Each structure stands twice: as C-alpha cells, then as structure tokens.
A and B are shown apart, each in its own frame.
Chain A
Amino acid sequence: MRRRVAVLFGGCSVEHEISVITALQLMEAMDTLDYDIVPVYVDQKGHWYAGKELLKREFYDGLPGCLENITKVTLLPQPGVGGLTILKNMKVIPIDIIFLAFHGKYGEDGCVQGLIEMADIPYTGCGVLTSAVTMNKSCCKAVLANSNIPVLPWVVIKREESRQSLGALLSRIKKCEGLENFPYFIKPCNLGSSVGVGKASDEKAFAEALARVFKYDTDAIVEPCIEDLMEVNISVLEGDTPQVSVVEIPVAISKVLTYEDKYLRGGKNKLGGVASDGMAGLVRDIDPEYLDAKLKESIRNYALAAFMILECAGVVRFDFIIDCKTNTVYFNEVNPLPGSLAYYLWEKSSPRILYTEMLDWILKRAEIRKARVNAVHKDMEFKALR
C-alpha cells in the first residue's frame, strides 16, 4: 500500500540550509509510486509549513516572503491524531511515516524525536536517547570509551569558565593526560558540520578558537591536535544485522575540513554563490587503495560496534581519525543523521545500494521498529487513585 511520508527538514539549527539540501535530494530520490511525499519545511524561527511548493529548490530563493501562502502545520504531542494538524482549521493531514532530514539542534538531538514519540508515529533514524547522546560529543566519547572504542583524550570547557580566566583554564587543560602541550583542536560540543572548529598552537590562537566556538555553542571540547592525520568516514545501515559501507577520505583544502569545504565548494562550479549539493558535493576519495586493508577492517569493526553500543537506527555516518605517524585509529564523531544521508557511500559499496532503495529500506525499518516498540504491555489502569 502506498504510504504517505512527511519529510521534515530545515529547523532552527546552524545547519538549516544543509538540511534543506539533504531533504530536496532525498525527496527527489524517493520512489513516488510507493510513497506520497508531504514536504514539511521548518523555518529558522521554528514554524512548520507543508505543501508541494516546498519540493522546488527555487522556492527557497524567495524566503521568507514566499512562505506567506504556504499552509502552516504542526504536530500535536498526543497519540491518535495520525498526522500533521493544519493550524488554520485544525484539520489533519494523515501521515504514515515521518522521514527526518534535519541536521543539528532540535532535529538531530532527540528533541523532535521525542515529540514524534509522543505523537505515536513511526519515524526514521535514531531514537531519542541515541540522538541525544550522539549529538553531544563529550557524552558520546565517554560512552564509547567505556566500551573500549579508542577515542582521543578530551576536556569540556563551559563558556562561563572561559570568562573567569583564560590562564587558569589552560592550566586545567594541561593537567589532563594527553593534553599537556599545544597544539589543540577546539570544537563546539553540540554541533556538527564543522561549524566553529579550529586549531590552536599557542595561547592567542587558543583564545581565538574558543571565542569562535562560543559564538555557536555554550560548551567547547578540547582535544590534542594530531599533526599528521587522515579523516576516514564510514556509514552503517540499520538492519537485523547492520551493514557497513565502503570508507571514504574527504579531501580538505586545509588540514581540517571546514564548513566551506563540506558544503560550499559544490560539485562543478567553485565560485561563491553557486547552488551547493551538500555533503554529496564534497571532493572525496572513496575506498582508496592507499589505505591499509587492516586499518579499513578495524574501522569497519569499530563502526559496527559503535552502532550497536549507541543503539543507532536508520543510516548513520561515523568519522574516524587515523594518526598517520602511529597508524592508530580513533573514533572522532558520529552523525546520527548524516548530510545527504551518506548515500554516495552506499552507491559504491558492495552489495551496491542505490539511494532510492536505501530510502525505501529506512522507511520500512521505521515501521518495523515502531511496531516492535509498541508490542509491549502498557498497563495503564487506574489503581493508585482508586
């Protein structure tokens, strides 16, 4: 039976635009014979809009004025509604499955997942706990380190602490094992997409990097900066036995992959102001031969293990770092809702999975998971009050 899928994207996060790109790509790839797509755009203020107009890329050139004539909707946090509620007349647009295509705050951190849980509708990707844990870099590292997945040492800094004294802060960091000396790598604790990341080789650069992070996040995470590093990404797809994709090495212009590297360099045209393809447009080496087979193997194993430990679902992307001097692999971070859903990796994997198939699989799994979660006794009789 044809299912009606609401694709949710946009949202109040720094990665708003990237989410729009991810969503437009996946809505184009989704099989419309099996799925009736209802695009739901959440603007930067957090208002929800639904309508077929949202399928067109050109539409977003006219923001925010073009939203005037689009139906405003919402999702009520109560079971039994069965879809999106139109704000104007409280009528319901029935929805079978929600496809989440958000990146970052509220959409990838468990918030919207919690709302949809309450509305009792199947949704794609990781659940509340996994999303919440994986979005916080420090929390995620702690959980994985506890299960013997190698991670770099790290320290969390609060914005309030930085206001007191930078000197005292540095001496606290230097007391940690593995963080005795510069250079450091500083990044926001709760953001993906490389927004605000920076390297510091001295105190001045440290202050600058911190200031950059605190523009976007209240917490910063400090790690040792590995001078000769290679980033390796790999994707894992949900299943009764999860599958791993090929690995890729994203090619950064500088040592560290910046937001511009990831999203703005586009595929063909490298001038500013061109339409970006999101993560799919990045310059990359897929399954490179120069990467040692043993390293690939251990990355695959770590990725699979991490997927299970974190109880991930849908398609996720793990980013690892290889210290080229020692050939050691470290878990770096996980994207519970990766840009472009990492489809470009699956198209090169074996067995090959095309984007349309992958989306179909993810949607089917969402319904299976929902059924499994619901198949427990819900003892909700009145006892204590009577």
Chain B
Amino acid sequence: MIVVVVAIILLCHLLLYRHRSFHYLRYFQQEEYNSGRFLSWLWNNRVFDIKATAIALIALIVVGFVPFVGSIVAAVALLFPIILEGDPRITGKITLKMTMRAKRIYLCAFILYATLLCIAAWYVRLHMLWLIQILFFQSIPLLLVIANGVMMPLERIRQRRYVSEAREIVRDVNPVIIGITGSYGKTSTKNILGEILQIAVGTTFWPPKGVNTLMGITREIRENLKRGIDYAVVEMGAYRRGSISRLCGITPPKAGIITAVGLCHLERFGSEEDIFKAKSELAEAIPDNGILVCNGDDPAVRRIAEENHKLVTLLYGFDDNDLDCWVSSMALEGDKGTSFTLHWNDDVYDGYVPMFGKTMLYNVMAAFSMACAFGADPEYVLAVLTNIEPVGNRLQVERNGDIIYIKDAYNSNPIGFCAALDVLEGLLAKRRIIITPGMIELGERRYEENVIVGEVAGAICDLAIVVGDVNSDALRCGLERGGLDDKDIVYCNSRDEGFAYLSSVVKDGDAVLIENDLTDLYEQRVRL
C-alpha cells in the first residue's frame, strides 16, 4: 500500500515539476540562459512556489490523521496548479519555445530532480516526504540553473562548431555584408534596407525580426544564407564591448550603418563611454574602401564618423548641418503614414512611407542613403518605401473601428518614447490615452529619464495607465509636472489588468498609445 501511495505522490509531483519547470524555463529563455540575470529576476520578484507549498503544508497536518487517503488527495491536489496556470508553451505574451537547448536543459534538470526526489522518497517516512517536497518545489528554478551549468561545456562546443560552420558559409557565399548597429532603430533599419536592396539592387539576405546576437545570426546563416545571394544585411546587437567585433568576425562588413548611441541597455553596459566604444567597433571593422552611413544628428555617432575615415561616409538627419541626406519637412497623412521631403545629391524628392514618427524617418534615411550608395535609383528606392510595412509592434498605427491604436511595444528608450508621443499628438483624436510601464533598461538614469518622458506625456495625454510599480513614482512625478490631473492617472499591477481597464474606458474617437509593452520578465507579479 505504502509503495502505491508514494508512487502516486511521486507521479503527481513530477507532473507538477514538468509544468513548473516550463514556467521557469520561459523566463530563463527570455534572459538568454544567463543564470545571474535569471536568479536576480527570481529573487527580485520573489517568484517562489506558493500553491504547492500550501498543499504540502496542509497535507503535513492531514497525513497525521489519515496518512494514505490524505496523501492521495493532496497528491491529486498538486495537479490543480497545472490547470490553473496554463501551459507556458502556448499561453502568455511570450511563449516558451522548446528549442533543442531548452529541451536539453529541461531533460537534464528533470533527471537530476527525479533522481533526488526518488532518493528522498526512499529514505523518509510519509509525512516527512511532504515536508521535503516543499524543499523540492522551491528548488525547481535552481535545478534549471544547475542543469544549464552542467550542459554549458557541451553547449560551448556545439556553439563553437555552429559559429565556425556559419563563418565557412559566409566565406563561400561571399555576399556584400552591411552591418547595422545603434542603440535603437537597427531592426527597423535592417528590414527597410533589406526590402529596398532585394527589390532595387540585388538578391538580399536579412535575418528576420530582431535577430542580432551571435547565435541568432549564426543560426540564420546556417539555415538561409545560400549561394546566389549578393547582399547580406546584418543587425549587430551590442550588449557589451567586444560583442560587435565578434559578430564582425563571422560577417565581416563592407559597409555599415550606425543609427544612434543612446542609453539603451545601460544596465548591461555600465557607462555611456562603453556604449560609444562598443558601437565604434562596427566602424572600425569596415575596410577603408567601404561605406559608412551615420546619423548626423547624433553627436556621438558623428564623432564615430569623424574618427573612422572610409571611402564613402554619408551622414543623414533632420538639421541640415553638413548632411548628405536630410529630410526638410514631414507630415502625417491621417492614420496611414508619413509624407516627407528628402534631399539627396542636390536633388529634392517627395517621399511617403506607411509608417510613423521621426525615429522611423531616421531609419528610412539610413536605408535610403545606403541603398543609393550601392547604386540604387533613388526614385525606385522611394517607390519601394511606399510599400514597406512596419515590423510588428514598432510604432504601428492601427485603426479598430473608431479607435486608433499606436503600438510601440519594444524595449523603449527616451527618443523612441518621445517619437511615439509625437505621433500620438499628431493624430486627430477626442482623447489621447497612454498605457505604459515606463522604460526599464536605463541603469541609474532610469528615474530621471522616466520623469522627463512622463512630463512630455502628461502634456499630451488625457489619461495615463501606468503598468507595474517599477517606474510608477517617476511617471507620476513626470505626468503631474506635464499637467495631467492625479485622477487621470491610473495604476495597474499587471499588463492584463491595464488592458482590462483600458478596454473598459476606451471610447470611439480615442487614440491609444501602447508604449513599451515589456517582456513578461518585468511585469509586476508572477505567482506560482
């Protein structure tokens, strides 16, 4: 009898384990399997088990009176969290992707966990088992971290092999590589440039979405870079010094675009000078006879252009201050897009893009300059631009009935935030609403930067929904300074709560800015 009961307990326990480890793995994956960052997320958010622990505590008492029946009931109760919490592989804004690496970590952790659990079950008595299970429930994320550590050497070997394969493919295909880096705008710039080159210049490879890490690019190259491709546009993310140099090692650029040197990911970098040096690595990697396209409105990027002389160096921007490509005027075309006047090579062109915001025009100018430097017909480039679609959640304007939604949902930064507010201000609307958790990865400048954007938002919006408590103080301070009444600022604990509130108050004729809809990791509370 006891054997059967213990078996049932272990079975239910392991089912719960499976479910929970998927939950944690989702966050671990979001943190790119960085154990330190994962653990600090875990600690800061106190994402510890509550439900299963509570069940075990109750069982601990009940088992004293009815050992077998109590144990079985409690074991079955362990299955409830599985139903309540939903499968993280399917539900949630960012789902767990069961990649090979995720599977390996999961499996390794499972073996460790199951072995330890069975050993424990062998040696302890029934009611002690319930006590010990609590320890196990709480250790699930730690097991994942340990499994990750155990798998690391193998992972390294595998990664190294993939990287060298990718390098070999690049050498074989030998496309003209254009690297793009910058604190923001690089993904959009990459997509716009990719579309332009593909149609107006030559067959082009560009990794989708925001793929910009060593392993991400490596994977894309191994899967999709084929002979016959003439150009490759590669977004190069910089999270620390040296990361761009490493990327340039696989995809040596002939040309490059630097969009901005800003405050993005300041938490991971340390200082602004470090960011500057990291971004300079791209310019340094371009050969002297290459092409460098830089944002001329950004003093730090201009400095990079001045310090790195190339055969062709082009500057773009809005303030014509010795620029090669500049936009002298822009206007919102309803909720459809933006028209602009563009200057290039002493000619003036009228252009249109179905996208929004000043930051988007920076990306357009960068891509335009680069394509023209490669010999594209400017008229044809502008024709391509009229057909471009914005990448999901990067300053998209959508109309749903009589409500306009502006979605600018990705890793916000001060300049991008203000550009989105610009668009919100430019739209015809009865009421202007913003829903945002503020900006996160800004290091020690976070508070003041959030106050600044809050102030701008406060002057424009009629209602603000602040999500989470990370920036709520800073935003309140800013929004009130901007002139928004305290009663028009609503605080919500989670994204879901925020959206639920939004849908209860939104009316025809409103314009809603969804700004920086962050990854699950930074949302207020995860309860397990």
Please give the residue numbers on chain A whose beta carbons come within 8 Å of chain B beta carbons, in ascending order: 62, 65-66, 68, 159, 162-163, 165-166, 203-204, 207-208, 210-212, 214-215, 271-273
User: Is B393 in the interface zone, CB < 8 Å from A?
Assistant: no
Report the separation of the CA atoms of residues A207 and B195 in the bound assembly, to the nearest whole angstrom: 15
**Chain A min CB distance to B396 (Å):** 13
B residues 194-225 in Cβ contact with A at 8 Å: 195, 198-202
**Chain A min CB distance to B384 (Å):** 4
Contacts of B89 in A (CB 8 A): 65, 68
Contact in complex: B386, A208 (CB < 8 Å) = yes
Besides A210-B383, A211-B384, 4 other A-B contacts (C-beta < 8 A)? A65-B90, A214-B199, A271-B400, A272-B399
B residues 364-390 in Cβ contact with A at 8 Å: 376-377, 379-380, 382-384, 386-387
Tally of contact residues, B, Cβ under 8 A: 23
User: Is B95 in the interface zone, CB < 8 Å from A?
Assistant: yes
Contact in complex: B199, A166 (CB < 8 Å) = no
Also in contact, A272 and B400, with CB within 8 A (given A159-B199, A163-B201) = yes
Instruction: Mark B98-119 against chain A: 1 for CB-CB distance below 8 A, else 0.
Output: 1000000000000000000000
Contact in complex: A163, B90 (CB < 8 Å) = no
Contact in complex: A66, B383 (CB < 8 Å) = no
Also in contact, A212 and B387, with CB within 8 A (given A163-B200, A166-B377) = yes
Contacts of A215 in B (CB 8 A): 195, 199, 387
Contacts of B380 in A (CB 8 A): 162-163, 166, 207, 211
Contacts of B401 in A (CB 8 A): 271
Q: Could you list 28 A-B pairs, sorted by A, with CB under 8 Å?
A: A65-B90, A68-B89, A68-B98, A159-B199, A162-B200, A163-B199, A163-B202, A163-B380, A166-B377, A166-B380, A203-B379, A207-B379, A207-B382, A207-B383, A208-B383, A208-B386, A208-B387, A210-B383, A211-B200, A211-B383, A211-B384, A211-B386, A211-B387, A214-B198, A215-B195, A215-B199, A215-B387, A272-B398
**Chain A min CB distance to B453 (Å):** 30
Instruction: Mark B329-344 against chain A: 1 for CB-CB distance below 8 A, else 0.
Output: 0000000000000000
Report the separation of the CA atoms of residues A214 and B381 in the bound assembly, to the nearest whole angstrom: 13
Contacts of A207 in B (CB 8 A): 379-380, 382-383
Pick from B195, B201, B202, B384 the residue with the most CB of A within 10 Å: B384
Report the separation of the CA atoms of residues A204 and B351 in the bound assembly, to the nearest whole angstrom: 10
**Chain B min CB distance to A196 (Å):** 9
Contacts of B386 in A (CB 8 A): 208, 211
**Chain B min CB distance to A214 (Å):** 5
> Which residue of A has the minimal Cβ distance to B91?
A65
**Chain B min CB distance to A271 (Å):** 6
Report the separation of the CA atoms of residues A62 and B202 in the bound assembly, to the nearest whole angstrom: 36
> Which residue of A has the minimal Cβ distance to B97?
A65
Contact in complex: B199, A211 (CB < 8 Å) = yes
**Chain A min CB distance to B359 (Å):** 23
Please give the residue numbers on chain B whose beta carbons come within 8 Å of chain A beta carbons, in ascending order: 89-90, 95, 98, 195, 198-202, 376-377, 379-380, 382-384, 386-387, 398-401
**Chain A min CB distance to B61 (Å):** 39
Report the separation of the CA atoms of residues A332 and B401 in the bound assembly, to the nearest whole angstrom: 35
**Chain B min CB distance to A203 (Å):** 8
Report the separation of the CA atoms of residues A166 and B98 in the bound assembly, to the nearest whole angstrom: 47
Report the separation of the CA atoms of residues A159 and B201 in the bound assembly, to the nearest whole angstrom: 9
> Which residue of A has the minimal Cβ distance to B400?
A272
Report the separation of the CA atoms of residues A68 and B97 in the bound assembly, to the nearest whole angstrom: 11
Report the separation of the CA atoms of residues A68 and B96 in the bound assembly, to the nearest whole angstrom: 13
Report the separation of the CA atoms of residues A210 and B377 in the bound assembly, to the nearest whole angstrom: 13
Report the separation of the CA atoms of residues A159 and B379 in the bound assembly, to the nearest whole angstrom: 16
Contact in complex: B377, A65 (CB < 8 Å) = no
Pick from B89, B199, B383 the residue with the most CB of A within 10 Å: B383
Contact in complex: A66, B90 (CB < 8 Å) = yes
Contacts of B382 in A (CB 8 A): 207
Contact in complex: A65, B95 (CB < 8 Å) = yes
Report the separation of the CA atoms of residues A203 and B380 in the bound assembly, to the nearest whole angstrom: 10
Report the separation of the CA atoms of residues A214 and B197 in the bound assembly, to the nearest whole angstrom: 11
> Which residue of B has the minimal Cβ distance to A207?
B383
**Chain A min CB distance to B58 (Å):** 34
**Chain B min CB distance to A204 (Å):** 7
Contact in complex: B90, A62 (CB < 8 Å) = yes
> Which residue of A has the minimal Cβ distance to B386?
A208
Report the separation of the CA atoms of residues A293 and B201 in the bound assembly, to the nearest whole angstrom: 50
Report the separation of the CA atoms of residues A272 and B399 in the bound assembly, to the nearest whole angstrom: 9
Contacts of A210 in B (CB 8 A): 383
Report the separation of the CA atoms of residues A165 and B198 in the bound assembly, to the nearest whole angstrom: 15
Contact in complex: A204, B377 (CB < 8 Å) = no
From the candidates A66, A166, A212, A273, name the one contacting B379 in the complex (CB within 8 A). Answer: A166
Contacts of A212 in B (CB 8 A): 387
**Chain B min CB distance to A238 (Å):** 39
Report the separation of the CA atoms of residues A162 and B379 in the bound assembly, to the nearest whole angstrom: 12
Contacts of B202 in A (CB 8 A): 163
Contact in complex: B377, A165 (CB < 8 Å) = yes
> Which residue of B has the minimal Cβ distance to A167?
B377
**Chain B min CB distance to A159 (Å):** 7
**Chain A min CB distance to B77 (Å):** 26
Closest 7 CB pairs of A and B: A207-B383, A211-B383, A211-B384, A208-B383, A214-B199, A212-B387, A65-B90
Contacts of A62 in B (CB 8 A): 90
Report the separation of the CA atoms of residues A128 and B400 in the bound assembly, to the nearest whole angstrom: 43
Contacts of A203 in B (CB 8 A): 379
> Which residue of B has the minimal Cβ distance to A208?
B383
**Chain A min CB distance to B470 (Å):** 29
Contacts of B95 in A (CB 8 A): 65
**Chain B min CB distance to A201 (Å):** 14
Contacts of A208 in B (CB 8 A): 383, 386-387
**Chain B min CB distance to A225 (Å):** 18
**Chain B min CB distance to A272 (Å):** 6
Report the separation of the CA atoms of residues A66 and B198 in the bound assembly, to the nearest whole angstrom: 33
> Which residue of A has the minimal Cβ distance to B385?
A211
Report the separation of the CA atoms of residues A207 and B371 in the bound assembly, to the nearest whole angstrom: 16
Contacts of A273 in B (CB 8 A): 400
Also in contact, A204 and B199, with CB within 8 A (given A65-B90, A66-B90) = no
Contacts of A166 in B (CB 8 A): 377, 379-380
Contacts of B376 in A (CB 8 A): 163
Report the separation of the CA atoms of residues A271 and B508 in the bound assembly, to the nearest whole angstrom: 14
**Chain B min CB distance to A139 (Å):** 23
> Which residue of B has the minimal Cβ distance to A203?
B379
**Chain B min CB distance to A10 (Å):** 20
Report the separation of the CA atoms of residues A272 and B398 in the bound assembly, to the nearest whole angstrom: 10
**Chain A min CB distance to B174 (Å):** 19
Pick from A65, A66, A165 the residue with the most CB of B within 10 Å: A65
Report the separation of the CA atoms of residues A204 and B95 in the bound assembly, to the nearest whole angstrom: 44
Pick from B98, B376, B377, B398 the residue with the most CB of A within 10 Å: B377
Report the separation of the CA atoms of residues A212 and B195 in the bound assembly, to the nearest whole angstrom: 11
Report the separation of the CA atoms of residues A272 and B401 in the bound assembly, to the nearest whole angstrom: 8
Contacts of B98 in A (CB 8 A): 68
Report the separation of the CA atoms of residues A215 and B201 in the bound assembly, to the nearest whole angstrom: 13
Report the separation of the CA atoms of residues A162 and B201 in the bound assembly, to the nearest whole angstrom: 9
Pick from A66, A204, A210, A211 the residue with the most CB of B within 10 Å: A211
> Which residue of A has the minimal Cβ distance to B376?
A163
**Chain A min CB distance to B228 (Å):** 12
> Which residue of B has the minimal Cβ distance to A272?
B400
Report the separation of the CA atoms of residues A271 and B403 in the bound assembly, to the nearest whole angstrom: 12
Report the separation of the CA atoms of residues A166 and B384 in the bound assembly, to the nearest whole angstrom: 13
**Chain A min CB distance to B14 (Å):** 20
Contacts of B400 in A (CB 8 A): 271-273
Contacts of A272 in B (CB 8 A): 398-400
Contacts of A66 in B (CB 8 A): 90
> Which residue of A has the minimal Cβ distance to B375?
A163
Report the separation of the CA atoms of residues A271 and B380 in the bound assembly, to the nearest whole angstrom: 34
Also in contact, A204 and B90, with CB within 8 A (given A159-B199, A215-B195) = no
Report the separation of the CA atoms of residues A66 and B95 in the bound assembly, to the nearest whole angstrom: 12
Contacts of B377 in A (CB 8 A): 165-166
Contact in complex: B383, A204 (CB < 8 Å) = yes
> Which residue of B has the minimal Cβ distance to A160?
B202
**Chain B min CB distance to A282 (Å):** 22
